[in-house]
Amino acid sequence: MTQTVSGAVATRDRSDQLVTWIRRQQDDIAMAAASHVKPSAVIRVTQGALRRDTKLLAAAIANPQSLLYALLDCARLGHEPDTDDYYLVPFGQEVTGIEGYKGIIERMFRAGGVTSVVAQVVRKTDRYAPRGENTPPLHEYDDFASADDRGPMRGAYAYAIFTSGRCSQVIRMGRAEIMEHKAASRGSDRADSPWQKWEPAMWKKTVLRGLEPYVPTSNEFRALSGAAPAAADRATDFTYLPPPPASVADSEIVDAEIVDDPPPSNGRAEQKPPNSSPRTARRKTAAAGDDTRSRSRSADGAQDGAAGDSTAQDATPRAAGAAPSRGAQPLPPQPEDEPQVALATSGQLGMLGQRLGKLGVDDENRLSTLEKLAGRDLAAPADLTRDEAARIRGLLDRCREDRGALVELLATGQLPEAEQAGEDGG
């Protein structure tokens, strides 16, 4: 009995020391956290999770740094720890942070580009039929039937509906493909693995991961402006295509010559834009007719009501059929071609993947790590520019395969002092 009480007291003391240590890391968590996440709330929630789960507490006491890594990742994604959005899972003597499928859906909604996200598991007795790459599939089943009645799982799918009403790419995976992802997941064969405890949820998460490159996601909350909903829809709808130009019948087109405006009456020559020289253009009859009629009415009114107007006196008659003049208004500025940004090469992307792998970053966290290093959201690693890829590679090389250095770099934007000192000395 004495040993049991002594052990409980020692565990409580170590737990208090761990919580005190985590509280001292609040500034680091604040630097990595999304703007809507409160670091103090993250610490309080974590403290409650440690008290409820003895295995989690033991793993955190054995390796407190692993718990800090998980909390930094959770705060960066904009989630609260130990929730359906983000799990704290003990793996032996280490704590691993795992984003749940609900967390992925939450980040999709935060970007403001989708109205709904669907992820479903298809079982043996379900009626399922695909309808195309960008059309939701037909999936019918008995809502009140148990999982055993519906039969074993044989696949999963996921898609999103954009604010424009269009459907995203539909991601479909069969059992064999999902099992490949399971085999690549760390500790998936352990009894306490999420793949063993919440297998249907992990199937949904797998297809949602495949959907991420096709749907905008954000760690921050983004509210789209209601002033221009059409433009907002196009900005977040990855499948948007501009409408084709309206066709004009040959019978509706006439030839017309654009005549330059006369110089002002004060005798000074007005500077003309370089593209205002006379030229022959083909104009639509409807537009030219409306413009001519409106200007004719304006001219008639000016002559009847203001015969002595200097503008009317200086007006120069134009040839019949000529396009009406717009006065001394300058032509609208011509848009300049935007410079083309060189994207990262496949060799650069492959090298970044190799560096991240050596630093212990798996495929699921690779895109989010690159976003943090690049300082902006990415739909895929291929969105990096060559300059960004070169800069990120330099940062990863300076980490020297030290995962702790990478975590500090993600949290603070700087490498550890020891790493910088070693580089300067070398």
Share of the chain above pLDDT 90, in %: 43
Question: What is the pTM (predicted TM-score) of this model?
Answer: 0.52
> If you average pLDDT over residues 71-88, what whole number do you get?
94
Query: What pLDDT, on a 0 to 100 scale, did the predictor assign at position 139?
Result: 96
Query: What pLDDT, on a 0 to 100 scale, did the predictor assign at position 362?
Result: 79
pLDDT tens for 122-152 read 999 999 999 999 999 999 999 999 999 999 9
Residues 128, 121: Cα–Cα separation, whole Å: 11
Residue 150: count of CB within 10 angstroms of its CB: 16
Contact 45, 82 (CB under 8 A): yes
Query: What pLDDT, on a 0 to 100 scale, did the predictor assign at position 12?
Result: 75
pLDDT class for 257, splitting at 50, 70, 90? low
Among residues 243, 236, 242, the alpha carbon closest in space to that of 214 is found at 236
Best mean pLDDT range from 177-186, 218-227, 272-281: 177-186
Query: What pLDDT, on a 0 to 100 scale, did the predictor assign at position 97?
Result: 93
The yes-or-no verdict on residue 291 having pLDDT over 70 is: no
Query: What pLDDT, on a 0 to 100 scale, did the predictor assign at position 9?
Result: 63
Query: What pLDDT, on a 0 to 100 scale, did the predictor assign at position 333?
Result: 56
Contact 186, 91 (CB under 8 A): yes
pLDDT class for 342, splitting at 50, 70, 90? confident
Residue type, 81: P
> If you average pLDDT over residues 29-52, what whole number do you get?
93
pLDDT tens for 381-426 read 888 898 888 888 888 888 877 788 888 888 777 776 644 544 444 4
> If you average pLDDT over residues 331-346, what whole number do you get?
64
Contact 26, 67 (CB under 8 A): no
Query: What pLDDT, on a 0 to 100 scale, did the predictor assign at position 374?
Result: 86
Matching residue, tokens 């007291």: 9
pLDDT tens for 12-23 read 778 889 989 999
Query: What pLDDT, on a 0 to 100 scale, did the predictor assign at position 279?
Result: 42
Residues 351, 389: Cα–Cα separation, whole Å: 9
- The DSSP code for 250 is G
pLDDT tens for 207-216 read 999 999 999 9
> If you average pLDDT over residues 236-247, what whole number do you get?
44
Query: What pLDDT, on a 0 to 100 scale, did the predictor assign at position 280?
Result: 42
Long-range contacts of 144-148 (CB under 8 A, 24+ apart): 147/123, 147/200
Token digits of residue 196: 């063993």
> If you average pLDDT over residues 111-128, what whole number do you get?
96
- The DSSP code for 297 is H
Query: What pLDDT, on a 0 to 100 scale, did the predictor assign at position 260?
Result: 55
> If you average pLDDT over residues 110-125, what whole number do you get?
95
The yes-or-no verdict on residue 164 having pLDDT over 90 is: yes
Q: Which residues pair with 160 in a beta bridge?
A: 117
The yes-or-no verdict on residue 286 having pLDDT over 60 is: no
Query: What pLDDT, on a 0 to 100 scale, did the predictor assign at position 6?
Result: 63
